[in-house]
Structure 1
Amino acid sequence: MSVATIDDAGLVPAGPMTSEERKVIFASSLGTVFEWYDFYLYGSLSAIIAAQFFSGVNPTAAFIFALMAFAAGFAVRPFGAIFFGRLGDLVGRKYTFLITIMIMGLSTFIVGILPSYAAWGIAAPIILIILRLFQGLALGGEYGGAATYVAEHAPHGRRGFYTSWIQTTATLGLFLSLLVILGTRTWLGEEEFAAWGWRIPFLLSIILLGISVWIRLSLNESPAFKKMKEEGKTSKAPLTEAFGRWENAKVALVALFGGTAGQAVVWYTGQFYALFFLTQTLKVDGPTANILIALSLLIGTPFFIVFGWLSDKIGRKPIILGGCLVAALTYFPLFSLITHYANPALERAQATAPVTVVADPSECSFQFNPVGTSKFVTSCDIAKSFLARNSVNYSNEAAPAGTVASIRIGNQTIASFPGAGMPADEFKEQADAFNVTMTEAIRAHGYPAKADPDQINKPMLVVLLTILVLFVTMVYGPIAALLVELFPTRIRYTAMSLPYHIGNGWFGGFLPTTAFAMVAATGDIYYGLWYPIIVAVMTFLIGLFLMPETKNRDLRHWH
C-alpha cells in the first residue's frame, strides 16, 4: 500500500487526491461516524431511557435526570481530550484512536444489555451514567485524533476541504442513529420498542465496532508525526507544553471562546435542541419528529463539505463567525415559525388564552433537579411544574407573602395547594385532583394534549429545520481545519482537543438541560434560546477581534 509522503520542508505536496488520501479520509470518517452513532443513540432515546432507568422519580425530574445522564458523557470529554491527546502526541495518532473506538463501542453494547431500574433499582442508573462517562472519555480522544490525522495527510491549501469530511461524521452519526431507531420502531411497533426494542440499536454497535477496528488497523501513521518522530522532535510533555506555557495556553483560550463555544451551541441548537423542542415542547410524536430531523440532516449535510471547501478560498473566520451571528439573529423567529407549523393549536391557545401564575415569589424555586432527589412541594412550584410539563406559556405576577399560588387562565382562576409537610398519600390525592382540574381547564381553553398530525405542515418544517442545519454546517465545516492550524505538530492532538471538547462538551452538551430549566423557571417556551444566542454573540465578538485567520498556514512547524 502506498504511503502519503511529505517533502523536506514537511509539507504534503499539492495535487489530485491520491488513493491513500481517500482511504485515510474514508477510514477516519467512517470510524468517527460509528463513534458518534454510539454517542447519540442515548440522546435520541432519552425519553424511553428516562422511563427505563429513572422510573422511581416524578416525570419532570426524570426527564431532567435523563438529560443530565446524557450530559455526563459531555462533562468528561475534556478529560478524555487531555488523556488521549497526550497519548496521541507521545505515541502516535493511529493507535490512540484505535483505543478510543474500542472503549466507545463496548460501552454502548453494555447499555444494550443493562437491566432496567425495575430489575436492579438504583444500581441501573448509576451503571448507565458510568458507561456514559466512558463514552465521553473515548469521544474526547477520538475527534482530535481523526481531525489531526486527516489534516496531516492533506495537501497545503486543501485542508478545509479534506477535514470537512470529518465534520460530516457527527451529523451522519446522528442520522444513522435516527435511521436505525426509526427502522426498529417501525418493525416492532411502539409498544414493543418501548418495552425492549430500544436495546437493538445499542446492540448493533458491536458490528460497527468490528468494522471500525478492522479498517483502522490497516492505516499508516500520519506522515507529519512520523517525520517528526524520526527527527526526535516529539514533545516529551505535551500537556505542560500546550497549557503550561502562556503563548500556547492563550491560543487555546481564544480557540475556545472565539471559536468552539459558539460553534457548539449552534450545533446543538440546530440538531438536538430542535428535536427536544419538537417532541417535548410542541408534543410532536417521536417518529414524525425523527423523520423531519433526518430529512433536514440529509439535505444539509453536503454543505459541511461546501463550507470546508469555501474556507480554503476565503478563510475560516468569516464562515464560522458569520454562522454564529446569523444564528443568533434568527433563532427567535425560526423557532416561532416551527411552533406555527408544528402545533398551530398551541400557538392559538397562547395568543387567545394567556396564563398567569399569581404567587409569592419566595415560594418559587428554579426547578433544576439533575439527580431527581429534590421535591418541589410549594404551591408555586406545583403550579409551574404542571404548566412546564404541558408546554403552557405563562407570565408571573407577585402575590403577598404567604398567599397560596393560583393559575389564571382566561376568566378562570384555579388555586394550587401547599404540599410542604403533607403526608405522601394526601399529597398524591391533592396532586391528582389538581392535575385533573388543570388539564380540563387548559384543554377547554384550546391547549392541545399533543400536536395534531393533520395540522403539522411537514414541508415547511423541513425547510425551517434545514435552515438550522445550514447554520450548523457554516460553523462546523471549517472548525477542524482552524483548530489544527492554530497549534504546532508536536502538541497538536492535545492542544486542539481540549478547547474543542470544552466547547462542545460543556457549552454544547449542557444546552438541552439548561434551556429546559430556563423555560420551566420563566414560563416562556422560547426563553431557553437566550443561552445559545448569548454564547454565539460572545464567540462572534471574541473571534472577530482576537482569532487569527489560519487558512494560509502550513503544518510543517514542529514547534
Structure 2
Amino acid sequence: MEITASAPHSASMSKKDRRVIIAASLGTVFEFYDFFLIGLLAAEIARVFFSGVNPTAGFIFTLLGFAAGFMLRPFGAIVFGRLGDLVGRKYTFLVTIVLMGGSTFLIGVLPSYETAGLIAPIAFVLMRMIQGLALGGEFGGAMIYVAEHAPTNKRATWTAWVILTAAVGFLLAVAIIIPLRLSMEPAAFMAWGWRIPFIVSILLLGISLWIRLKLDESPEFKKMKAEGRASKSPLAETFGHWKNLRLILIGALCILPAQAVLWYTGQFYSLFFLTKVLKVETLTANFMLIIATVLTAPLYIIFANLSDRIGRRPVYIGGYILAAVLTIPIFQGLTHYANPALQRAQEMSPIVVATNPADCSVQFNLLGTSKFTSSCDVATNAMTSLGLNHTSVARTDIRVAEIRVGDKVIASYQGDAPNAAEEKKRFDAELRAALIEKHYPLGNANPDDVNAPAIVLLLMLLLSFGTITFAPSTTSLLEMFPSRIRYTAMSFPYHLSAAWFGGFLPATAFAIVAATGNIYAGLYYPVGIAIACTVLSLIFARETKGTDISRG
C-alpha cells in the first residue's frame, strides 16, 4: 500500500516543517510585493511611461500594463510547472524569485516617455511580462509545497497561510509607498520618488534568495523520485489526457474566475474607485484599505478551516453568491460615506451627455498618435477626467455635443477648430460654473465628510468575499490532480483564470465606466462572473475535501 504524501488525520507538522513552510510563504510575500507596486503607483506610471497619449487612454494603458504581467502567467505556469514536476520545487522557486526581483528593479530605472519615446512603454510592458512569467511558476508551487506537508484534515487551513501572504505583500508595498508620499513633495515623488519602491526590491531579492536557499525539497517529490514515479513528460500527461484536461477546464472556467475577480475587486478596484471616482485623498484611501486588509486577514484562515470541516464547494459557492448580491450595494455605500456631497449632487442634478453617435470615437489608440477632437470626444473626455457619473444619450438631431447639469446646458466644441483655444476656455469655465452652482464637489472629497469607520467596514465586507473563496477554491484545485503532474496541472488553470479574468478587471471595469458614464457599470463584470461561476460550479465542480493527494 502506498504511503500518503499528506500527513494522517491526527498528524501535525514538526518544528522543522513549520520553519520551511514559513520560509516558502515569506518568499511569496516578496513576489506579491513586486507585483502590487504597479497597481498602487498607476497614476505616476501613467504620466512617466504613457505621457504621449490623452489622460483617459494613458490610465487604461497603465492598467493594461498591469494586465500584461497577467498575460504571461499561464505560460509561466507551463514553463515552471513542468520544471517543478521534473526537477523539483526548490530549484524552481530560485529561478522565479530572480526573474521577479530583477524585472521589478529594472522598472525603477527605466527611462520616461519624454526621454525615450515609445521605447519606454514597450520596456515597461516587457518587464511586466517577465514578472508575470515568474509569478506563473511561483504561487502554485508554494501552495503545492505546503499542501504536500499538511495534515489531511488541515490542508486548506495550512495553504491559507500562503494565500495570506498575498495580502501581506500588499501591506509591505504600501508600507514603503506611504512614508515616501508623506515625506516628499508631490513634484519630487512624481519626478523620481515613485522609483524607490522598485529599486529597493533588489534588497528584497537578496533576502528572498537567502530564504529560498534554506528550503528543503518537498518530501513527496523526493519520495516520487526515489520510487521512480515522477512524470517524464508533465505537459503530455497534463494536456494529453482528457481526464486531466477536463479538470483543468473546470478549474479555469467554472471555479476560479469568480475567485480571481472578487479578490482583485476588493484589493485593487476599491482603491481606484475611492481615489479616482469618489476623489478621496490617496493616502486616506490607502490607510482605510490597509486597516480593512489587516482586520480581514484572519478570515483567510477561518474560512479555510471551515472548508476543512464542511467541504470546499459549499464555502466558495456561498462566497460567490454573497458577492453577486452585495458588491454593487457596497460600492453605492462607499459613495454615500466617502463623498456624500457628490451623491447629493448626482441625485439632485444628474448629468446627461447628449451626442450624435456619428461624431463619437473610441478613445483608444495603441501608439498615442490619434487626436480625439470631435465635440463628442471633447465632452466625453471631460466627464471621464472629472470621474463624474453621467448618462449618455444619443441624438441624431444635434451637430455639437451637449452636457446638461440639471437644467444647465453647456455646448461642447470641435477640438480642431481654428478658435479651439478660446472655445476650450469658454467650455471649461461654463462647465465648472454649472458644476459649482449645482453643488458638485470639485477636487478631493471634503475630509470632514469622509466617514472612515463606515468605509472600513464596507471594505472589510468587500475583502471578505476574497477571504471566503480563495483558500477553498485553490485547495480544491490542487486536490484534483495526481502528485506527479500537480505543479503543472494546478498552476496552469489557476494562472489562466487569474490572468484572463482577474488581471483584466481594472482595465475592463474602467473602460466600461468610461464608455457608459455610469460609475457602477464596471461592477457588472465581477458580479456577472460571480453569477456564472456559481451556476457552473453547481453543475460541474465536485467536492475534493479529504482527497488522498499522494495518488499518482
Bucket of the pairwise TM-score, normalised by the shorter protein: over 0.9
Q: Could you tell me how far 1:491 is from its partner in structure 2?
A: 1.0
Q: Could you tell me how far 1:16 is from its partner in structure 2?
A: 2.5
- The residue aligned with 2:356 is 360
1:22-71 CA deviation, whole Å, 9 max, x = no partner? 11221111000100000101110000111122122221111111111111
Q: Could you tell me how far 1:443 is from its partner in structure 2?
A: 2.4
SS of the equivalent of 1:478 reads helix
The CA distance in 1 between the partners of 2:38 and 2:261, in whole Å, is: 19
2:120 corresponds to which of 95, 120, 124:
124
Report if the CA contact (8 A) 2:5-2:149 is conserved.
no
Matches within 5 A, 1:58-73: 58-73=54-69
- The residue aligned with 1:319 is 315
Count of residues paired in the alignment: 550
- The residue aligned with 2:455 is 461
Report if the CA contact (8 A) 2:316-2:473 is conserved.
yes
SS of the equivalent of 1:284 reads coil
2:540 corresponds to which of 538, 546, 551:
546
Matches within 5 A, 1:423-438: 427=420, 430-438=423-431
- The residue aligned with 1:384 is 380
Matches within 5 A, 1:206-225: 206-225=202-221
Q: Identity of aligned pairs, percent?
A: 51
The CA distance in 2 between the partners of 1:261 and 1:147, in whole Å, is: 18
Q: Could you tell me how far 1:11 is from its partner in structure 2?
A: 4.0
- The residue aligned with 1:446 is 439
The CA distance in 2 between the partners of 1:550 and 1:430, in whole Å, is: 65
Structure-2 change in CA distance of 1:429 and 1:237 (3 Å): farther
The CA distance in 1 between the partners of 2:340 and 2:497, in whole Å, is: 35
Structure-2 change in CA distance of 1:368 and 1:536 (3 Å): farther
Q: Could you tell me how far 1:372 is from its partner in structure 2?
A: 3.9
Opposite residue 550 of structure 1, the aligned amino acid is T
Matches within 5 A, 1:196-235: 196-235=192-231
The CA distance in 2 between the partners of 1:429 and 1:237, in whole Å, is: 68
Report if the CA contact (8 A) 1:376-1:382 is conserved.
yes
1:303-350 CA deviation, whole Å, 9 max, x = no partner? 111111111111111111111110110111110110011111110110
SS of the equivalent of 2:108 reads helix
1:171-194 CA deviation, whole Å, 9 max, x = no partner? 111111111101222222433222
- The residue aligned with 1:555 is 549
SS of the equivalent of 1:356 reads strand
Q: Could you tell me how far 1:428 is from its partner in structure 2?
A: 5.2
- The residue aligned with 1:8 is 3
Opposite residue 246 of structure 2, the aligned amino acid is K
Q: Could you tell me how far 1:288 is from its partner in structure 2?
A: 0.7
1:211-254 CA deviation, whole Å, 9 max, x = no partner? 11111111111111111111222222211211222111110111
The CA distance in 1 between the partners of 2:72 and 2:367, in whole Å, is: 17
1:509-548 CA deviation, whole Å, 9 max, x = no partner? 1111111111111111000000000011111111112111
Structure-2 change in CA distance of 1:432 and 1:7 (3 Å): farther
Moved more, 182-191 or 33-42: 182-191
1:337 corresponds to which of 333, 336, 343:
333
Opposite residue 42 of structure 2, the aligned amino acid is S
2:294 corresponds to which of 293, 298, 306:
298
Q: Does 1:33 align with 2:29?
A: yes
Structure-2 change in CA distance of 1:366 and 1:531 (3 Å): farther
Matches within 5 A, 1:181-192: 181-192=177-188
- The residue aligned with 2:344 is 348
- The residue aligned with 1:500 is 494
1:371-421 CA deviation, whole Å, 9 max, x = no partner? 5444332222221121122122222323125622111222211111234xx
Report if the CA contact (8 A) 2:13-2:149 is conserved.
no
Opposite residue 554 of structure 1, the aligned amino acid is D
- The residue aligned with 2:274 is 278
Q: Could you tell me how far 1:146 is from its partner in structure 2?
A: 0.6
Report if the CA contact (8 A) 1:67-1:512 is conserved.
yes
- The residue aligned with 1:489 is 483
The CA distance in 1 between the partners of 2:432 and 2:290, in whole Å, is: 33
- The residue aligned with 1:3 is none
- The residue aligned with 1:525 is 519
Report if the CA contact (8 A) 1:25-1:165 is conserved.
no
Opposite residue 509 of structure 2, the aligned amino acid is A
Opposite residue 3 of structure 2, the aligned amino acid is D
- The residue aligned with 1:100 is 96
SS of the equivalent of 1:158 reads helix
Moved more, 270-279 or 352-361: 352-361
The CA distance in 1 between the partners of 2:366 and 2:267, in whole Å, is: 22
Q: Could you tell me how far 1:362 is from its partner in structure 2?
A: 3.1
SS of the equivalent of 2:403 reads strand
Structure-2 change in CA distance of 1:300 and 1:368 (3 Å): farther
- The residue aligned with 2:174 is 178
- The residue aligned with 1:287 is 283
Report if the CA contact (8 A) 1:168-1:477 is conserved.
no
Opposite residue 168 of structure 2, the aligned amino acid is L
Q: Does 1:537 align with 2:542?
A: no
Moved more, 84-93 or 362-371: 362-371
Q: Could you tell me how far 1:485 is from its partner in structure 2?
A: 0.2
Q: Could you tell me how far 1:366 is from its partner in structure 2?
A: 4.2
The CA distance in 2 between the partners of 1:436 and 1:54, in whole Å, is: 28
TM-score (norm 2): 0.96
The CA distance in 1 between the partners of 2:178 and 2:509, in whole Å, is: 26
- The residue aligned with 1:161 is 157
Opposite residue 203 of structure 1, the aligned amino acid is I
- Consecutive unaligned residues in structure 2, runs of 5 or more: none
Report if the CA contact (8 A) 1:164-1:480 is conserved.
no
Report if the CA contact (8 A) 1:24-1:150 is conserved.
no
Moved more, 364-373 or 26-35: 364-373
The CA distance in 1 between the partners of 2:370 and 2:264, in whole Å, is: 28
> Cα RMSD (Å) of the superposition?
1.8
Q: Does 1:476 align with 2:470?
A: yes
Structure-2 change in CA distance of 1:452 and 1:247 (3 Å): same
Q: Could you tell me how far 1:369 is from its partner in structure 2?
A: 4.7
Opposite residue 431 of structure 2, the aligned amino acid is M
Q: Does 1:49 align with 2:45?
A: yes
Opposite residue 315 of structure 1, the aligned amino acid is G
The CA distance in 1 between the partners of 2:204 and 2:2, in whole Å, is: 36
1:415-463 CA deviation, whole Å, 9 max, x = no partner? 11234xx36x754554454233322322222221221111111111111
Report if the CA contact (8 A) 2:313-2:473 is conserved.
no
SS of the equivalent of 1:311 reads helix
1:97-138 CA deviation, whole Å, 9 max, x = no partner? 110011001111111222222322222221111111110100
The CA distance in 2 between the partners of 1:440 and 1:236, in whole Å, is: 71
Opposite residue 549 of structure 2, the aligned amino acid is L
Matches within 5 A, 1:413-432: 413-419=409-415, 422=416, 427=420, 430-432=423-425
